[in-house]
């Protein structure tokens, strides 16, 4: 491929809500816009069962439905979606080279929207029984344990959302959190605490997951208030204890103490022309609507940056 054929004005890496919105705004600005996603566009939205707080949709829709609409909308505005894996991002002068398993592309503006992966507890039995009773996705694996006894670990929005979904599948659900109250939004926290099929236990930690080698059978809890450990039977354990930002492609970029990329209000990182949006970015509130807004800002500011490089900035 010639350099002309491989150049894009904006290249977005990651196809969640932030990346898809960035692609839409890039295309709408009549810029050559490419979104690279190694899996299906949609990101973590794909596993949301009931999306009830996305503005403009008073009736619930699934995360999959929203992802489809965002994808179609981006493509309608001319954005190109490439199913590929990005191996590296290298800057030389004002130009970035994006190396993928389907070739190299160049661009003046990179928008990183690679999101975050589920954090693990790193306790005995967690890795051994992953996929055999231990899960990090309720909508993916919950139906396999319909009417079984399930455990949810965590106290944030994701944990509460997933617990409410699992409560539709079983009447025997326990939820533990290591602190004495949830950190989730109040409306979600109250919904979980008042649910007749969810047994909430605060000040509890999961210490070990046991089984017969093929599936889990019991877990070991530590009750911090009573200062004691006890064992209880379970058929499934769902873990939602935070996320790890996927920043491997942001080499040399400034990050905060927890590993998230630090940006200014234009979503630009410490490196000119390199933007970060969504769950990979340091932000006080992680929601689909926030990610989408960040994607729009990043594309808008990237377009202004490209105009500056070409001497076309509006005065």
Q: Which residues are catalytic?
A: 137, 140-141
Residue 258, SS3 per DSSP: coil
Nearest to residue 130, comparing CAs of 243, 214, 46, 221? 214
Neighbours of 312 (CB within 10 A): 9
Order of strands, sheet of 228-233, starting from the edge strand that comes earlier in the sequence: 204-211, 216-223, 228-233
Nearest to residue 12, comparing CAs of 31, 28, 29, 36? 36
- Rounded CA separation 121/278 (Å): 23
If residue 216 lies in a helix (H) or strand (E), which one and from where to where?
Answer: strand 216-223
Cα first-last separation, the chain:
37
The tokens 């970015």 sit on which residue? 281
Distances (CA, A) of 187 to 50, 53, 60, 154: 15, 11, 16, 16
- Rounded CA separation 247/22 (Å): 18
């Amino acid at each position: 491929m010639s350099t002309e054929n491989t150049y894009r004005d904006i290249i977005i890496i990651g196809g969640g809500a932030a990346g898809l919105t960035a692609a839409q705004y890039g295309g709408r600005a009549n810029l050559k816009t490419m979104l690279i996603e190694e899996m299906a566009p949609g990101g973590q939205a794909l596993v949301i069962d009931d999306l009830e707080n996305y503005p403009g949709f008073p009736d619930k829709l699934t995360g999959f439905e929203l992802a489809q609409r965002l994808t179609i909308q981006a493509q309608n505005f001319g954005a190109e979606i490439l199913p590929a894996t990005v191996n590296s991002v290298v800057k030389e002068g004002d130009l970035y080279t994006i190396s993928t398993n389907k070739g190299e592309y160049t661009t003046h503006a990179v928008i990183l929207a690679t999101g975050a992966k589920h954090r693990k507890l790193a306790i005995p039995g967690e890795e051994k029984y992953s996929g055999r009773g231990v899960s990090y996705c309720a909508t993916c694996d919950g139906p396999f344990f319909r009417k079984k006894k399930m455990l949810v670990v965590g106290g944030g929005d994701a944990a509460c959302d997933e617990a409410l979904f699992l409560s539709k599948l079983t009447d025997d659900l326990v939820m533990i959190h290591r602190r004495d109250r949830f950190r989730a939004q109040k409306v979600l926290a109250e919904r979980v605490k008042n649910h007749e099929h969810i047994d909430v236990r605060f000040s509890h930690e999961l210490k070990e997951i046991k089984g017969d080698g093929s599936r889990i059978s019991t877990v070991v809890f530590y009750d911090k208030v009573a200062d004691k450990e006890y064992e209880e039977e379970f058929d499934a354990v769902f873990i939602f204890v935070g996320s790890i930002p996927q920043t491997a492609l942001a080499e040399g970029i400034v990050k905060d103490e927890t590993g998230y990329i630090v940006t200014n209000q234009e979503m630009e990182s410490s490196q000119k022309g390199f933007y970060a949006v969504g769950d990979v970015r340091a932000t006080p509130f992680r929601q689909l609507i926030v990610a989408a807004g960040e994607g729009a800002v990043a594309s808008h500011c990237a377009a202004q940056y490209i105009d500056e490089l070409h001497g076309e900035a509006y005065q």
